[in-house]
Structure 1
Amino acid sequence: MSASAVKADPMRLVREDLAGFAGYASARTAALDGDTWLNANESPSPNAADTDGALRRYPDPQPGALRTLLAGLYGCDADRLLVGRGSDEAIDLLVRALCRPGADAVLVTPPTFGMYAVSARLHGTAVIEVPLLDNEAPDRPIGFEADFAAIERAATAGPVKIVFLCSPGNPTGSALPLERIETLARALQDRALVVVDEAYGEFSEVASAASLIDRQPNIAVLRTLSKAHALAGARIGSVIADAGLIAVLRRCQAPYPLPTPCIDFACRSLSAEAIARTDAGVAQVLAERERLHAALTDSAAVRRVYPSQANFLLVRFHEPDAAMARLLAAGIVVRDQRAASGLGDALRITVGTRDQNNRVIDAINTLERTQ
C-alpha cells in the first residue's frame, strides 16, 4: 500500500480508544434463524392497539430493505450507508467516534446549522469558527461563500478532526462547488473528516459530494428524508461514508435507532410512484422559490434576498423587527435569524404553497405601505 493510500484511510481519524470497541450486541445483531424467538425478552402477545402484532418485536438495527432503497436513491453501496434518527444522530455519532473529549475540535462555518456546535460542546469538544464570506463582488452572484483557504489554515493549525460544511447552506441557501470540497479534503486527508450536510440537496443544481468519496474517503455526506421527501415526522436520516467508518459509527449507535412504523413508512415512500410525486413536488418548490424571490426583491421593505439552492430564502429587511411582527400578525411564522452572527436584520422564509407564498408577499407589501 502506498503512503498516499495510508493517508487517505479515514479509519486513521477514529479515536484510538475506540479501535477495539465492539459496541452493544443486541438480540437482533446476530444472524440467527428460527420460528420461536425467545432471545430479546419481548412480550409473547401483542399490545391491544397493535392490530398485526408487528410492534411487539424489536426492529432491525439497520433494516436491509430501507438501506438498499436509500443506497439506490443516493447512488452509493449499501455498506457505505448508515440510517438513523435524522441528520442530528449522524452528526452526534461522527463527533463521538472521531473526537476525543477535551482534546480534539470541530470546525464550523457560521452562519450555519447549529447542531454541529451543539453536538460538539455536549461531547466536550472545542468548536472553531471560520465565518462564511458574504460576497457582493460585482462579477459574482450575491451570496455567501465558504472561505476554503481560511478553513484549511484553521484546520491544519489546530486539533480539528471534523470540518462541517452545509451545502446548500442553512440558513444561507448557498451550495458549495464540489471541486473546492475535494481539494479541501485532499489537503486534510491525514488530519480531518470533511462532512458535507446535504439536507437540502434535492433542491440544488450541484451534484452530491458522495461522488467524491471514492477519490477522497475522508469525505462523509449527510442526507435526509425530512425535506424534499416530506417525512420530517419519521426522522429518517443517512450518513454516506467509507465502509470502514460506517462500521465504526454502527458500533457507536443505539441498538434500535428506528421504530418499525417509521421503517415501513420510509420504504413505502421510496417506491417509484412516491419518488415521482416527490420529484414533482420539488419542481413546484423550485418554481415558487423563484417567484417568491422576485417578488421580495421588488419590495422596498427588503434590503436583500439571497440566491438559494434550498427550499427557503434568506431575506434581509430594512426594519426586521417590523417585518417579523407583521408576518406574525398575518399568522405567518418564519425562522428568526436576528440572533445569528452577521444576520441581525434577517429572516429565513420557507417556500410554501402558492397561496402561502402570496400571503407572505401581501404581508411584506403591507409593511412597505406603512413604513
Structure 2
Amino acid sequence: MVEINNLVRSNVLTLQPYSSARSKFTGKDGTFLDANENPFGTLNRYPDPQQSELKKKLAQLKGVNTQNIFVGNGSDEVIDLAFRIFCNPGKDKALTFSPTYGMYNVSAAINNIELIEQPLNSAFQIDLPTLRPYFNDPSIKLMFICSPNNPTGNLIDRAAIDYILTNFKGIVIVDEAYIDFATDESLISMIDQYNNLIVSQTFSKAWGLAAARLGTAYADKEIINLYNKVKPPYNVSELNQKAANEALDKIKKYEENLAVILSERKRVEKALSNIKEVQKVYPSDANYILIEVQNADQLYTDLVNQNIITRNRNNQVKNCIRISIGTPEENNILINAIKNIK
C-alpha cells in the first residue's frame, strides 16, 4: 500500500473546500432560497454537485461503490486535477510513455510540472528495464499510461502495468478512454488491490457524448475524496448529467453502435491493407487505426482537399496518419479517396 497523504501537496491537505449551497441538501423538492438563483426558468437551479444519480448508475455498471467514482468535466479535468493534487509546481515531476495523448504534456506545462517522456519500444510497449531507475526518484509523483494508447491504438501489456503499480510509489493513472473497443477488461477491478491506481474513462468515445464533456475516474475513496475536495463546486452541468443518465438507460443502443464500430474497424483495416500506397496498418484496440504511408503530410493534405479530415501523426510516429472509424458511408468515402490518390 502507498501512503497517499505523503504524495499530496501540503496546501491541498490543509485546504478547506468550498461548501456549495446544495452540498448539504440532497432532496429534489423544497423551497430553495439558499443559492441566490433566479426563481424563474427551467435551467435556473444549480446542478447536483456530486452527480449522485449518475454515480449510482455507474456504480452498478462498473461493479464499484459510489465512493470510488469521480465525475469530471471531461477526462481532461481528471488529468488536470491529478497535477493540482499531487504535484508542487516547479518542483515535482510526472512521467508518461511516448507517443501518447498530448494533453498530459499540455496539462503538465500549465501546472509547471516537468513531464518525462519515456519512449515505448518498437512494439509500442513499455520498456521496463529502462523505466526501473525512475522508481527511485521521489520527485516523480504521477505516471500516465494510456491503454489502449493514443495514437497507436494498442493495449499496454497488463503484466507491465501490474509491475509498475507494485513497484512505483507514486500515483499511476491508467487512461482507458478507448477501453470499450478492446478485448481486455478494464483495470477498474484492480482499484481495491492498488490504492495508488486511478482509472480514467470517458463518455466521449463509445457512448457518443463528446459534446457533453464527461469524464470519470475510479480509485480508492481516499483519492476520490481529494478530487472532490479540489474540484469546482458545480463542475458538471445539469444538461451533461442528464445526457449521461439517458445514455446509461439505453445500453442496447450503446451495444448496437459499438458492434457497428468494431465491425467497421475490421473492414477498414482489411481494405486499407490492400491499398499499395498503405505500407502498414497497425493493429488497433480502439475506435481508430494508425496507418503508415510513404508521405503522411501529403496524404493528409490530399484528404483535406476532399473534405476528409484525418489526424496527421507524422510528428509522433513517422509517416503515420490516425483515422477514426466513422459510419459505413464515411468509411467508404475514405477508402475510395485513398485508393484514387496518385
Give the TM-score, by structure 1 length: 0.88
Local SS of the residue matching 1:180: helix
**Residue 156 of structure 1, CA deviation:** 2.6
Do the aligned residues in 1 keep the contact of 2:79 with 2:107 (CA within 8 Å)? yes
Alignment of 1:54-203 (within 5 A): 55-135=43-123, 144-157=124-137, 159-188=139-168, 191-203=169-181
What is the CA RMSD across the aligned residues, in angstroms? 1.5
Amino acid in structure 1 at the alignment position of 2:82: L
**Residue 304 of structure 1, CA deviation:** 1.3
Structure 1 residues 203-245: Cα deviation after superposition (integer angstroms, max 9, x where no partner): 0111111111111111110011110000011111101111011
Structure 1 residues 225-272: Cα deviation after superposition (integer angstroms, max 9, x where no partner): 11000001111110111101101111110110111111112111101x
Local SS of the residue matching 2:119: coil
Give distance in 2, aligned partners of 1:108 and 1:252. Answer: 23
**Residue 20 of structure 1, CA deviation:** 2.3
Amino acid in structure 2 at the alignment position of 1:10: I
Larger deviation, residues 160-169 vs 261-270: 261-270
Amino acid in structure 2 at the alignment position of 1:357: N
Give distance in 2, aligned partners of 1:158 and 1:18. Answer: 19
Aligned length: 341
Amino acid in structure 2 at the alignment position of 1:345: N
Local SS of the residue matching 1:279: helix
Do the aligned residues in 2 keep the contact of 1:91 with 1:116 (CA within 8 Å)? yes
Q: Of 193, 207, 212, which residue of structure 1 is paired with 2:185?
A: 207
User: 1:312 aligns to what?
Assistant: 288
Q: Of 7, 20, 25, which residue of structure 2 is paired with 1:26?
A: 20
Local SS of the residue matching 2:32: coil
Structure 1 residues 278-306: Cα deviation after superposition (integer angstroms, max 9, x where no partner): 11111111111111111111211112111
Q: Does 1:338 align with 2:326?
A: no
User: 2:339 aligns to what?
Assistant: 365
User: 1:302 aligns to what?
Assistant: 278
Give distance in 2, aligned partners of 1:148 and 1:252. Answer: 33
Do the aligned residues in 1 keep the contact of 2:126 with 2:160 (CA within 8 Å)? no
Larger deviation, residues 320-329 vs 166-175: 320-329
Give distance in 2, aligned partners of 1:11 and 1:73. Answer: 30
Alignment of 1:222-261 (within 5 A): 222-261=200-239
% identical aligned pairs: 36
**Residue 32 of structure 1, CA deviation:** 6.8
Q: Does 1:352 align with 2:326?
A: yes
**Residue 67 of structure 1, CA deviation:** 0.7
Give distance in 1, aligned partners of 2:136 and 2:334. Answer: 45
Q: Of 269, 275, 279, which residue of structure 1 is paired with 2:251?
A: 275
**Residue 72 of structure 1, CA deviation:** 2.1
Amino acid in structure 2 at the alignment position of 1:349: I
Give distance in 1, aligned partners of 2:227 and 2:32. Answer: 28
User: 1:139 aligns to what?
Assistant: none
Gaps of 5+ in 2: none
**Residue 317 of structure 1, CA deviation:** 0.6
Give distance in 1, aligned partners of 2:218 and 2:132. Answer: 23
Misfit runs of 4+, over 6 Å: none
Do the aligned residues in 2 keep the contact of 1:84 with 1:238 (CA within 8 Å)? yes
Give distance in 1, aligned partners of 2:182 and 2:5. Answer: 30
Give distance in 2, aligned partners of 1:12 and 1:239. Answer: 21
Q: Of 21, 33, 36, which residue of structure 2 is paired with 1:38?
A: 33
Give distance in 1, aligned partners of 2:193 and 2:6. Answer: 16
User: 1:13 aligns to what?
Assistant: 7
Amino acid in structure 2 at the alignment position of 1:242: D
Give distance in 2, aligned partners of 1:127 and 1:87. Answer: 18
User: 2:266 aligns to what?
Assistant: 290
Amino acid in structure 2 at the alignment position of 1:337: R
Local SS of the residue matching 1:179: helix
Do the aligned residues in 2 keep the contact of 1:107 with 1:155 (CA within 8 Å)? no
Structure 1 residues 301-336: Cα deviation after superposition (integer angstroms, max 9, x where no partner): 112111000000011111223311221232210011
**Residue 158 of structure 1, CA deviation:** 5.7
Do the aligned residues in 1 keep the contact of 2:300 with 2:311 (CA within 8 Å)? no
Local SS of the residue matching 2:211: helix
